[in-house]
Amino acid sequence: MFASNPFADLAMMFPLDVIQGYVILMFLLVVGGTLADIIHKKSAKYFFAKAKAAEAARTRELSAGDKVGIAVQTAVIDVATSAEFCNPKRRIAHLLTMYGFILFILTTIALVFAYPSDAAPAIVSQLWHLSAIMVTVGGFWFWFFIRVDVTAEANAWYHLVRADLFILSLLGTTTFGFLWSIAQSQGTGILSNLMLALFLLSATVLFAGVLWSKFAHMFFKPAAAYNKRIIKADGSMENLPELGDLSDPALQKRFPDIPEYMGSNPPNMGLGIKREAPRHY
């Protein structure tokens, strides 16, 4: 079953041009949605403005070699291994979902465009099924056991916000796609058609809902990680104001919203801003 190409049988129901056209349309929707997200939220304008402000505060000039080295560090540490996640469970779940999603996209493109028949190499079909399992395991692990950790969020699994659109549509796409392949191989027509319909619905929401979900976040995150390493390396970050000792009565009087506990510069806290529980989206 795992060695069969599920899209080969689909081509018997719909013209191959329609199937390939749908995949191309989803790609265009991602590109258009990402550009619309950048324009609507002015994220690119904000990013370059912050980078320019940091440039004025830098204490050393970085060479081209330094920037290349930082880019490599960003790709290997921040992107490829998601080292920003201190919680090992959170990190593993993220890596399973991320690499599973990438592999799912690549193998789907291969099966639809390069091998639209049963002649597809077994390894490609096996990787398509494996990638669906990776996303499903990582995504549901995150949804039921990490996101709803009451010590961090106190949210029930059914508590939904708009930011959840991405993970839920992604889980729907891979889960229903996997179930569709199983039902199709077993020859259960009604169940197979139902899973196919849910698979296409979830995929459409996933790729067409970029403007309303966190899909575009995956493109901004590497740029933000790279910029953070740049301002740390050129000394810009050293010119940021320090809070000092939070147990100092004078500091507490000046900033009454800061909790009374020992330590300097706690994470996720700003001057005069109440600390919020961390959100795992």
Helix 217-233 to helix 43-56 angle (10° resolution) is 0
Residue 178: predicted pLDDT: 96
127-167 residue pLDDT tens: 999 999 999 999 999 888 887 654 555 567 677 777 789 99
Task: Kindly report the backbone phi and psi dihedral angles of residue 245, in degrees, each rounded to the nearest multiple of 5, phi listed first.
Answer: -80, 115
Residue 60: predicted pLDDT: 81
Tallying the residues shown for the chain, one arrives at 281
Question: Would the pTM of this model clear 0.85, i.e. be above it?
Answer: no
Q: What is the 3-state secondary structure (H, E, C) of the chain?
A: CCCCCHHHHHCCCCCHHHHHHHHHHHHHHHHHHHHHHHHHHCHHHHHHHHHHHHHHCCCCCCCHHHHHHHHHHHHHHHHHCCCCCCCHHHHHHHHHHHHHHHHHHHHHHHHHHHCCCCCCCHHHHHHHHHHHHHHHHHHHHHHHHHCCCCCCCCCCCCCCCHHHHHHHHHHHHHHHHHHHHHHHHHCCHHHHHHHHHHHHHHHHHHHHCHHHCCCCHHHHHHHHHHHHHHHHHCCCHHHCCCCCECCCHHHHHHCCCCCCCCCECCCCCCCCCCCCCCCCC
Q: Where are the domains of the chain?
A: 6-240, 242-281
| Alpha-carbon 162 to chain mean position | 14
Q: Which residues of the chain have pLDDT under 70?
A: 1, 43-47, 50-51, 54, 56, 118, 148-155, 157, 237-281
For tokens 């010119």, name the residue: 239
Residue 131: predicted pLDDT: 97
Spatial separation of the C-alpha atoms in residues 272 and 86, rounded to whole Å: 26
257-270 residue pLDDT tens: 444 443 444 433 33
